[in-house]
Every structure is written in structure tokens, then in C-alpha cells.
Amino acid sequence: MVDIHSHILWELDDGSKNIFSSVDMAKQAVAEGITSVIATPHHRHPSYTNEKKNVLIRVKDLQSELKRQNIPLNIYAGQEIRLFGEMLDAFNHSEELLTLNNSEYILVEFPPSNIPKYTEQLFYDLLVKGYTPIIAHPERNAAIAENTDKLYRLIKNGALSQVTAASVAGKFGRKTQKLSLNLLEHHLAHFVASDAHNMTNRSFVWKQGMDKLKKELGSDMVTLVNTQAEDVLQGRSFKKLAPERFQQRKKLFGLV
């Protein structure tokens, strides 16, 4: 199985703190059934900058160490890029940005509380140029949680999205868990990934997430999200299912 979003590289962001932690995370990933991980350190984040060349070096170093220790996990390069208006220019005219394993797919992150006003136009421009945005953890974005139609429009126009295994497993609370499952059920999310940062409070939670997904939405959904993650890794296009709107439970007098 393929994990398309992780912070397994050390000393780059708020993920792994050292190479020993990265190796421990790799061992945990293997124990959870993961065979390949795309390392996606934060980039253009308010607190972190990790340009292409530095990520590639660290991926090579980690892969060498895993090979030395006979840990059967393949590491590939990517970034979790905080959305910015000049993203397309940066892809076209610099060596700053990475797609996921040199594919057409880009892992993009919104600010936690909103969706930038220029998002629809930027996504359109990226798609025209052959890049496909994958929105990281939309279930944890306040604007989407309040109104999933905002995500629906982006997906309908060609974007994809990825929910977090820990969200599906309930580690971020019942509301986030329910939203994650709803997004997957209605084809507004297309992947489950770990977004793993460490071995404690932000670990892979892969098996728990997949078990919950199977229980709630069936084994076909588990197969689908994992097949599509493999497609991303291999740089293959796939035909996504048509997104569907769904009704959210409205708040009554400020209560859920």
C-alpha cells in the first residue's frame, strides 16, 4: 500500500526530529502494511521552507539508511505545498517545487481556516498545464467543514483530495471522522494517507483507519483509495467517480 502524504524526513519541518525517529517511523509503516511512502515536508508554510533539492537529498539519505538496515520501505519525494498565487510560475520557471514522485499530481495545503479566493482560478491554470492538485486533509479545514459545497466545486472542476487516516479512525474527534467518511462516500475525497509526523501523537494510524473505512464503506472503498494512491505513485491518470453533494446536519442554537 502507498502512503502519499507523510513527514518522515528528519529536521525539515514539524515531523521527524532525527534520523533515528525517521527509521522508527519507517518500521512502523512497514508493520502497518505500507510498502511505499511519499515524503512530503511542508513548503511555503509560514514556518517551513523545503525546496526541491533539499528534499531530494534527504530522501536519498533515508532510503540508503533503510536499505542498510534491510527495512523494506520505498521512499519517494514530494512536498506539501501551502497554496500561493505564483505556484504555476514557480513550477514553470524554477527548481523550487516538487510534484509527487515526479508525477502530474501536486499535494497542496490550504490555511486551516479558509480557502484562498484565488484557488479556483489557480487550480484551473494548473490543470490546463497538466498538473492535478490534491488537497491535503480537507476535513480539517474550517471553511470546508462549514460548507462542503466549497470542496465540491473544486473537485467537480478537476481537483482531487486526500483525507487523513487518523481522521477516519476518529483521532481528531467524531465530527471530523464523520466528515471524512462522508467525503469519501460522496467521492469528494479520493485517497487516505497518514500525514504521519512522529511515533506518538501523529503516527501512521493506517490499519485503524483502513479498518474503520472497511467497516463503514466496505472493502471496495478500501481497494479504490489504495488503487488510486498507487496510480499517483506510478504517475498514472485515473477516471474519478462523479462527486456528489451531501446534506450536513445544521447547528441549532449554536449546538450540534
Burial class from Cβ neighbours inside 10 Å (0-12, 13-18, 19+) for residue 92 reads exposed
Separation between Cα atoms, residue 49 and residue 5, nearest integer Å: 17
Residues present in the chain in total: 256
Q: Spell out the domains of the chain, with CATH numbers in brackets.
A: 2-234 (3.20.20.140)
For the entire predicted model, the pTM comes to 0.95
pLDDT value, residue 193: 98
pLDDT at residue 255 in the model: 42
What is residue 247's predicted lDDT score, i.e. its pLDDT? Answer: 75
The dihedral through the CA atoms of 158, 39, 76, 26 has a sign that is negative
Looking at residue 95, its pLDDT comes to 93
Give me the pLDDT at residue 253, please: 41
CA 89 → CA 15, 66, 130, distances in Å? 28, 35, 13
Residue ranges for the chain with pLDDT beneath 50: 252-256
Predicted confidence at residue 151, as pLDDT, reads 98
Neighbour tally for 125: CB within 10 Å: 14
Q: How many CB atoms are located within 10 Å of the residue 144 CB?
A: 24
